[in-house]
């Protein structure tokens, strides 16, 4: 995720964003940054191959004694302390996940790595010795980067800035900019009144020559895009609220290595697009970082950080998947998503399996009281390397998550998040290509997100539903449209599937 203040490199990108915003405000078609998006990807992509049936689920193994000892010590800590530990582990180079205080494999491995180097046992998590050691490392790394939480007056956001790596803030048409003299680090903060979030996402995620989007995730109120260009890696996060979109883009030279990568993770984890009044208020994970106020053009000296307010710990999440409503009271999901479930709920309603077809990798569920849209339409053919859109449930309430990707050998290349098991994958004509048959790996996060991966698809939905006597729309597909049109058409069909084990 890299950036430059060099005019030849950064100005076209900023002009592209301004052009996209101007088009959005005028209500006309949005151009991708640095020109219109090509109909096909700039870089040749592999030809799609038929999806293979999902593998049988792997039986869960009992957690190790070290894992349990660490978890018990972790659970005894208040939420703000847990988040502070995760924040310090980011700076120690051991953790790349979300700063949310939850305990899982990534947090355990990060703690084990740090404590192992210090010859400390897992039960010392939160103790005086481990806490002091973590605090010293985090303070040293933050001081080396000059990491400060900045209240940016130009955008109204609260953002972590490595002040020793970049110069003072300068004003842009959409907010503020911090850049290194050698052009290897650049941070842009944006405030975009009246902009449509989904249209901005479609614009900024488009491939162009020399640029590859490594993952892109759209949710109802925010999106994240990560991309790579020669000598430049980017991470963009935009959030909707109060009638406008606010966010930031962080660009770095990959050659700068992990010391700068951890700064990007820290900025992403502590960013507040709409800080609560009266500001500034520091997130719990940044209590060790100084706070500064940035007027439109420059940063002022730091002021002490506000104390963190403890919050209630989130409840443990049940296994979550997604399903497709194919008829009244009938939902199809991945067979592997409902294997060994003692209880099932779909869209918050009790459900039961009617058919589990291991050969197809699909399961047909019965759900009382679930209304049916019109018959669904399968894709005419798997698009060879073409663009795809995946729709999934982000939580048990069915909050929609949209992910863009492309067809690849053995399935689809997507940056799915939690709930992506059973995600509905469609082409840009709105035809359904298949359902994802593998659960995204929630233990491997980068800046709080699961990276892009290739997911196998179960494609014979039509065979399963027609065998059950349910209607399928076999009309010829319309011309390819936008991902927004696909989402508008398919969103009512995507539901959350929760498995109780």
DSSP class of residue 265 equals H
Strand partners, 362: 334, 357
Q: Where are the domains of the chain?
A: 7-24+145-294, 65-142, 320-500
* Encoded tokens for 399: 């909050």
pLDDT at 61: 54
The whole-angstrom separation of Cα 72 and Cα 347 is: 33
The whole-angstrom separation of Cα 5 and Cα 7 is: 6
Full DSSP string of 344-377:
EEETTEEEEEEEEETTTTEEEEEETT----SPP-
Please list, in sequence order, all residues whose beta carbon lies within 8 angstroms of the beta carbon of residue 88, skipping any fewer than 6 positions away: 134, 135, 137, 138, 288
* Encoded tokens for 384: 């060879």
pLDDT at 193: 93
Angle between helices 105-117 and 128-145 (to 10 degrees): 90
The whole-angstrom separation of Cα 243 and Cα 419 is: 28
Q: Which CATH architecture best describes the domain 320-500?
A: Beta Barrel (2.40)
Please list, in sequence order, all residues whose beta carbon lies within 8 angstroms of the beta carbon of residue 28, skipping any fewer than 6 positions away: none
pLDDT at 220: 85
* Encoded tokens for 139: 């303070």
CA 253 to chain CA mean position, Å: 22
SS3 474: coil
The whole-angstrom separation of Cα 128 and Cα 495 is: 46
Please list, in sequence order, all residues whose beta carbon lies within 8 angstroms of the beta carbon of residue 193, skipping any fewer than 6 positions away: 243, 244
pLDDT in tens, the chain (501 residues): 333 333 333 333 443 444 443 333 333 333 233 222 233 233 333 333 444 444 444 444 556 788 888 888 888 887 778 888 888 899 988 988 878 888 888 888 989 999 989 888 877 877 788 888 888 888 888 888 989 888 888 999 989 999 999 999 999 999 999 999 999 999 999 999 999 999 999 989 887 888 988 888 888 889 999 999 999 999 999 999 888 999 999 999 999 888 888 899 889 888 889 886 543 344 444 333 444 444 444 433 333 344 344 344 334 445 789 999 999 999 999 999 998 888 999 998 999 999 999 888 999 999 998 887 788 999 876 656 788 899 998 877 778 888 888 888 778 888 888 889 999 999 988 999 999 999 988 776 666 678 788 899 988 899 999 999 999 999 888 888 787 888 888 999 999 999 887
The whole-angstrom separation of Cα 22 and Cα 1 is: 25
Beta carbons of 424 and 432 less than 8 angstroms apart:
yes
CA 296 to chain CA mean position, Å: 29
The whole-angstrom separation of Cα 136 and Cα 163 is: 20
Domain range 7-24+145-294, its CATH number among 1.10.10.10, 3.80.10.10, 3.40.1000.10, 3.30.300.30:
3.40.1000.10
Beta carbons of 363 and 335 less than 8 angstroms apart:
yes
* Encoded tokens for 337: 């998503």
The whole-angstrom separation of Cα 431 and Cα 476 is: 10
**How many Cα atoms occupy the beta-carbon half-sphere of 369 within 13 Å?**
7
pLDDT at 374: 85
- What distances in angstroms separate CA 217 from CA 167, 391, 448, one per listed residue? 30, 10, 12
Give the strands of the sheet with 147-152, arranged side by side. Answer: 157-162, 147-152, 291-294
pLDDT at 435: 95
Beta carbons of 368 and 350 less than 8 angstroms apart:
yes
Name the strand (E) or helix (H) holding 406. Answer: strand 400-408
Buried b (16+ CB within 10 A) or exposed e, 238-250: bbbeeebbbbbbb
Domains 7-24+145-294 and 320-500 share a fold: no
Beta carbons of 250 and 234 less than 8 angstroms apart:
yes
pLDDT at 187: 96
pLDDT at 359: 86
């Amino acid at each position: 995720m890299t950036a430059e203040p060099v005019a030849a490199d950064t100005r076209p990108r900023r002009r592209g964003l301004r052009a996209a915003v101007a088009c959005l405000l005028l209500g006309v078609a949005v151009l991708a940054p640095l020109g219109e998006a090509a109909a096909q990807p700039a870089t040749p992509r592999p030809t799609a191959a038929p999806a293979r049936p999902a593998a049988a689920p792997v039986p869960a193994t009992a957690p190790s004694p070290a894992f349990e000892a660490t978890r018990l010590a972790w659970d005894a800590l208040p939420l703000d302390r847990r988040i502070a530990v995760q924040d310090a582990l980011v700076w120690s180079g051991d953790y790349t996940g979300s700063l949310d205080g939850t305990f899982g494999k990534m947090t355990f491995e990060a703690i084990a790595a740090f404590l192992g180097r210090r010859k400390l046992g897992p039960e010392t998590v939160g103790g005086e010795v481990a806490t002091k050691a973590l605090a010293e490392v985090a303070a040293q790394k933050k001081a080396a980067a000059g990491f400060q939480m900045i209240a940016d007056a130009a955008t109204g956001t609260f953002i972590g800035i490595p002040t020793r790596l970049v110069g003072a803030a300068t004003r842009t048409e959409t907010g503020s900019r911090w850049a290194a003299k050698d052009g290897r680090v650049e941070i842009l903060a944006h405030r975009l009144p009246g902009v449509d979030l989904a249209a901005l996402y479609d614009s900024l995620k488009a491939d162009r020559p020399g640029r590859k989007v490594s993952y892109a995730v759209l949710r109802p109120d925010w999106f994240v895009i990560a991309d790579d260009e020669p000598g430049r890696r980017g991470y963009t996060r935009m959030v909707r609220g109060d009638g406008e979109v606010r966010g930031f883009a962080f660009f770095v030279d990959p050659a700068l290595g992990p010391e700068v990568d951890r700064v990007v993770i820290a900025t992403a984890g502590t960013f507040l697009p709409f800080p609560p009044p009266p500001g500034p208020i520091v997130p719990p994970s940044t209590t060790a970082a100084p706070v500064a106020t940035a007027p439109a053009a420059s940063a002022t000296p730091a002021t002490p950080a506000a104390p963190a307010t403890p919050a209630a710990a989130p409840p443990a999440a049940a296994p979550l998947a997604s399903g497709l409503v194919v008829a009244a009271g009938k939902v199809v999901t991945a067979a592997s998503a409902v294997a060994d479930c003692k209880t099932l709920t779909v869209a918050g309603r009790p459900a039961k399996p009617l058919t589990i077809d291991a050969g197809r990798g699909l399961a047909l569920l019965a759900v009382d009281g679930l209304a049916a849209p019109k018959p669904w339409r399968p894709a005419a053919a798997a698009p060879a390397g073409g663009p795809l859109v995946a729709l999934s449930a982000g939580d048990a309430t069915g909050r929609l998550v949209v992910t863009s990707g492309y067809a690849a050998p053995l399935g689809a290349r997507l940056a799915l998040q939690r709930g992506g098991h059973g995600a509905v994958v469609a082409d840009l004509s709105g035809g359904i290509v298949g359902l994802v048959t593998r659960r995204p790996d929630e233990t491997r996060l980068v800046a709080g997100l699961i990276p892009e991966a290739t997911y196998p698809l179960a494609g014979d939905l039509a065979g399963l539903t027609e065998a059950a006597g349910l209607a399928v729309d076999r009309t010829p597909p319309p011309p390819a449209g936008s991902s927004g049109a696909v989402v508008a058409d398919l969103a009512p069909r995507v539901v959350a599937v929760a498995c109780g084990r």
